[in-house]
Amino acid sequence: MAIKFNTVFVGIAISAFAAVTAPLADEPLKFSSEMTGGKIYALANMLAQSGRSDLNFTAAEADFNGDGRLDVLAFAQNSYFCGSGGCAPLLMIANKKGWKAVPFNALSMPENWYLLDSMRNGYRMVVVLGDESEQSYAWDGSAYIAVDN
């Protein structure tokens, strides 16, 4: 009986270790207007920035820096955040103290965004697919910036 218990325990420990150390997988960012803690904070930040009381808001939650916390990439579609080239997103990184807004230097719409498993400077790469184009973004230590594909 003890041998079976030890075998099961070792198997569970190995499975738990594999789950913790498993690499992040490429994933499409799923945007929605459903409100959760991080999305509420992002919406409040965008309302304060714009000085507006109404926003067409959508956001996606994903772990951008591999720390196990869900971060938020948010879009507010109005004239404050959007222009002829698209809309500027807000990225809120979750940390032990709450949330930190970090720059994401892109103009786009919240469709066809992918978070990659490859990382640069401790953050996952992002790819935005357009009708006939693809743009990659990487963390430069203080912001997400466009990089060559």
Contact 56, 77 (CB under 8 A): yes
Rounded to whole angstroms, the Cα distance separating 45 from 132 reads 33
Contacts from 36-39 at CB under 8 Å and sequence distance 24+? 36/61, 38/70, 38/71, 38/72, 38/92, 38/94, 38/99, 39/72, 39/74
Rounded to whole angstroms, the Cα distance separating 110 from 116 reads 16
pLDDT tens digits, one per residue of 16-45: 333 343 445 588 999 999 998 899 999 999
**Closest C-alpha among 31, 82, 35, 78 to residue 59:** 31
Torsion region of 49: left, alpha or beta (phi above 0 gives left; psi -120 to 50 gives alpha) = alpha
pLDDT tens digits, one per residue of 72-111: 999 998 889 999 888 999 999 999 999 999 989 998 888 8
Percentage of the chain modeled with pLDDT above 90? 62
pLDDT of residue 37: 85
pLDDT tens digits, one per residue of 57-72: 999 999 999 999 999 9
pLDDT of residue 26: 84
Domain boundaries, the chain: 24-147
Contact 56, 76 (CB under 8 A): yes
Q: What does pTM read for this prediction? A: 0.79
